[in-house]
Amino acid sequence: MTSLSLASTGEPTQRRAELFREQPLERIERWALGTAWALHPSRIDNFPALAKLWLADIAKPAVALPDPERTLNRAGLVGMAHDVSVPTLMQAYRNGLFTHAHFGPLKWYSLDERCVLLFDDYHCGKQVRRLLRQGRYTVTFDRDFEGVIKTCAGRRQGKWHVTWITPRIMRAYADLYDAGHVHSFEVWNADGALVGGGYGVAAGGVFFTESQFSLEKNTSKLGFTVLNWHLANWGFTLNDGKWETPTLAEMGFHMMPRPAFQLRLAHDAHQGGRAGRWQVETDLKTVAAWQPGGAERKSSSAA
């Protein structure tokens, strides 16, 4: 694929370097909070397998992608990730792997279950539909990936600043963006400020949602709804959200066991998709009127 890089000129490259830079105190904070997160009593039993793998990898670093079926702990750890180049990351996604680390070396993970959306099951809440109809916001695709990923990595009100979106991850996903595999959605308010958004990876007809943020109430849900409307209309079959969250469950995502997920990837992640930079192709009122097949069936059965 021909690179779609916006970094061919000095200005975008410089902007990325500045945005993705981590100050020494920020790095210390990330390591400290990441360590506290990993050693929390609810997760401490995952640590022995990680320590064993880490020591083994120091002696003999892994080269090939690990087997997604051979998990080493309940968190889904399968190996250490040394190569996060574009070809390796795309092959990993098609194999059901993803990389993750709050601190230390990157690791490969494969979850027992994935929280996924089949688009017929998508549910758009009343508040989001109302917001879509009001026209207070504008939604774009692929306009400000750098601003989106940097804000996704930023602080969240009322939460510890524990993030896996490190400078190395930002650079790796910027490379994927330049190659046309990563796509962002942006939500802008009336003043032209970026107030919501998210990004993910597209492999064939599967979209892997990575992260989202909201600086104003429901803005990420609004943008995410616009994204899912387009994915459904473009022929995508699946949106993978990795871990279950209350927000994803409210939107119609459900848990899919690894064997079923792998079967879907074996076909869907290698066919279909949409090349090039993405653009919003409809108005928000049309999205507000969206009634996916699952919603229609549920309404009929309820009647």
In tens, the pLDDT along 61-120 reads 988 999 999 999 999 999 999 999 999 999 999 999 999 888 788 999 999 999 999 999
By the 10 Å C-beta count (0-12 exposed, 13-18 middle, 19+ buried), 193 is classed as exposed
> pTM of whole model > 0.85?
yes
Model confidence at 301: pLDDT above 70: no
Same domain, 143 and 284: yes
Quote the pLDDT of residue 32. 85
Share of the chain above pLDDT 70, in %: 91
Model confidence at 51: pLDDT above 50: yes
Same domain, 223 and 101: no
Averaged pLDDT score across all residues of the chain: 89
Closest CA to 278 of 149, 175, 141, 140: 141
Amino acid identity at 58: I
Number of domains in the chain: 2
Same domain, 98 and 119: no
DSSP code, position 120: G
Same domain, 245 and 154: yes
Same domain, 159 and 296: yes
Q: Summarize the confidence of residues 136-144 as an average pLDDT.
A: 97
For tokens 């400000």, name the residue.
Answer: 144
Same domain, 104 and 120: no
Closest CA to 199 of 190, 187, 188: 187
Rounded alpha-carbon distances, angstroms, from residue 74 to 45, 46, 113, 128, 182: 9, 7, 11, 35, 28
Same domain, 58 and 181: no
Domain that holds residue 223: 115-302
Same domain, 54 and 151: no
| Residue 4 placed within a domain | no
Q: Is 194 helix (H, G, I), strand (E, B) or coil?
A: strand
Model confidence at 165: pLDDT above 80: yes
Q: Model confidence at 154, in pLDDT bands (50, 70, 90)? A: confident
Of the candidates 78, 110, 142, which is a domain's last residue?
110
Quote the pLDDT of residue 12. 67
Q: Indicate which CATH number applies to the domain containing 265.
A: 3.40.630.70
Same domain, 80 and 176: no
DSSP code, position 235: T
